[in-house]
């Protein structure tokens, strides 16, 4: 069974930059995996941030960016704000099926 791996937790200082990554047990991630990124705050439904590797949703702040980095999908937050503290999940496409990563708990401290 395919496993998608994210960092369990990361901490970033206010105003700082952090990169979250998403790796697949099948090998290097390419744009063909259509990486998506979602943010979930406590007690709320998730919301989409990035789709198809690097496309921001209309509501996604410009401080969030998506890319491919060293065979992984990456979400970079530049200029972190306290409100960015949340869980972040990636989702990959595997020829029909999709698989979520385990999520990264991001603390802004």
Partner 1 sequence: EVQLIQSGAEVKEPGTTVKISCKGSSYTFTDSYVHWVQQAPGKGLEWMGLVDPENGETTFAENFQDRVTMTADMSTATAYMALNNLRSEDTAIYYCVVSFARGWSWGQGTLVTVSS
| Binders of partner 1 in range 57-86 (CB under 8 A) | 57-58
Binding mask 23-62 for partner 1 (x = CB under 8 A): -------------x-x-x----xxxx--x---x-xx----
Please identify which residue in 10, 69, 78, 100 interacts with partner 1, judged by CB under 8 A.
Answer: 100
Judged on CB neighbours under 10 Å (0-12, 13-18, 19+), 6 is buried
Q: Please report, for residues 29, 39, 59, 82, 97, the alpha-carbon distance to residue 69 in angstroms, rounded to integers and kept in the order given.
A: 9, 20, 24, 26, 23
**38 beta partners:** 48, 89
Please identify which residue in 29, 80, 89, 108 interacts with partner 1, judged by CB under 8 A.
Answer: 89
Taking the least distance from each CB to partner 1, the nearer of 19 and 40 is 40
């Amino acid at each position: 069974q395919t496993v998608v791996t994210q960092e369990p937790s990361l901490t970033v200082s206010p105003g700082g930059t952090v990169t979250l990554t998403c790796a697949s047990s099948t090998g290097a991630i390419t744009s063909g995996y259509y990486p998506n990124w979602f943010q979930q705050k406590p007690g709320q439904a998730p919301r989409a941030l990035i789709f198809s590797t690097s496309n921001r949703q209309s509501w996604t702040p410009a401080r969030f960016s998506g890319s491919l980095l060293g065979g992984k999908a990456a979400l970079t937050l530049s200029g972190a704000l306290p409100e960015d503290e949340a869980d972040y999940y990636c989702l990959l496409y595997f020829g029909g099926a999709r698989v979520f990563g385990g999520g990264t708990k991001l603390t802004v401290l």
